[in-house]
């Protein structure tokens, strides 16, 4: 896949920004109800009240739109993590409780737009270029995670923070994938969030009996 068709054009003028926001908003609305393969570009353009040519002016492909929408979700997630851990917590229990709350919020957003998430991973499986673009998107999220770990390193198990941050994001991605494959888990995944939080507790923190 030509990587150029994966890059949305960022509007520089207010009129363009309004149009792009309308495209994004309506695409999110449609994705709450339908799978991406059931949604045509003309349908998105009509819902956003823009021409198909305008859509292609900003998004050279449907894949570019998907990456843009997921980037918005990842940015919101990164901001929530940064704000949630703005002031370092003092112990393991407080850290894990806050992580549990933020993970629950993130998963609620992804379940709401689960057709977007399924489409993203489907395209990533079929296209190395798309998969690479997806990985680049998650770099910022890994960076925020590493900053959080750095701020709490005095209470964490000694380890390479870059490796730990990558592992944490991978575990969360795996949890998301599992939830999206199960209608039952999509409706109620509290126990899975609790299990991931428990695993992270063992991975991130020294054993209770360690001096």
Report d(CA 128, CA 188) in Å as an integer. 33
pLDDT at 201: 92
Q: How does pLDDT run across 42-95, given as a tens digit for each residue?
A: 999 999 999 999 999 999 999 999 999 999 988 888 888 888 888 888 899 999
Q: Is the pLDDT of residue 210 over 80?
A: no
- Residues in contact with 177: Cβ distance below 8 Å, sequence separation at least 6, in sequence order: 121
Report d(CA 86, CA 4) in Å as an integer. 37
The residue with greater pLDDT, 29 or 7, is 29
pLDDT at 2: 57
pLDDT at 3: 62
C-alpha count within 13 angstroms, C-beta hemisphere, residue 34:
11
Q: How does pLDDT run across 155-207, given as a tens digit for each residue?
A: 999 989 999 999 988 888 888 888 888 888 888 888 988 999 999 999 999 98
Q: What is the pTM of this model?
A: 0.85
Q: What is the mean pLDDT of residues 134-157?
A: 88
3-state SS track over the chain: CCHHHHCCCCCCCHHHHHHHHHHHHHHHHHHCCCCHHHCCHHHHHHHHCCCHHHHHHHCCCHHHHHHHHHHHHHHHHHHHHHHHCCCCCCCHHHHHHHHHHHHHHHHHHHHHCHHHHHHHHHHHHHCHHHHHHHHHHHHHHHHHHHHHHHHCCCCCCCCCHHHHHHHHHHHHHHHHHHHHCCHHHHHCCHHHHHHHHHHHHHHHCCCCCCC
pLDDT at 22: 97
Residue 209 pLDDT level (bands cut at 50, 70, 90): low
């Amino acid at each position: 896949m030509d990587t150029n068709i994966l890059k949305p054009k960022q509007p520089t003028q207010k009129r363009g920004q309004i149009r792009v926001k309308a495209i994004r908003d309506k695409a999110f609305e449609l994705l709450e109800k339908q799978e991406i393969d059931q949604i045509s570009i003309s349908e998105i353009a009509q819902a956003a009240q823009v021409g198909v040519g305008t859509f292609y002016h900003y998004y050279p492909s449907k894949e570019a739109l998907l990456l843009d929408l997921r980037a918005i979700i990842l940015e919101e997630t990164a901001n929530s993590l940064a704000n949630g851990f703005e002031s370092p917590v003092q112990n393991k229990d407080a850290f894990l409780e806050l992580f549990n709350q933020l993970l629950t919020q993130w998963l609620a957003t992804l379940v709401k737009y689960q057709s977007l998430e399924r489409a993203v991973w489907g395209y990533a499986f079929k296209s190395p270029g798309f998969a690479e673009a997806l990985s680049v998107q998650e770099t910022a999220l890994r960076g925020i995670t590493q900053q959080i770990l750095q701020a709490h390193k005095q209470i964490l198990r000694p380890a390479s923070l870059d490796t730990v941050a990558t592992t944490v994001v991978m575990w969360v991605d795996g949890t998301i994938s599992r939830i999206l494959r199960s209608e039952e888990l999509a409706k109620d995944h509290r126990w899975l969030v609790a299990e991931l939080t428990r695993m992270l507790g063992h991975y991130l923190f020294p054993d209770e009996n360690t001096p």
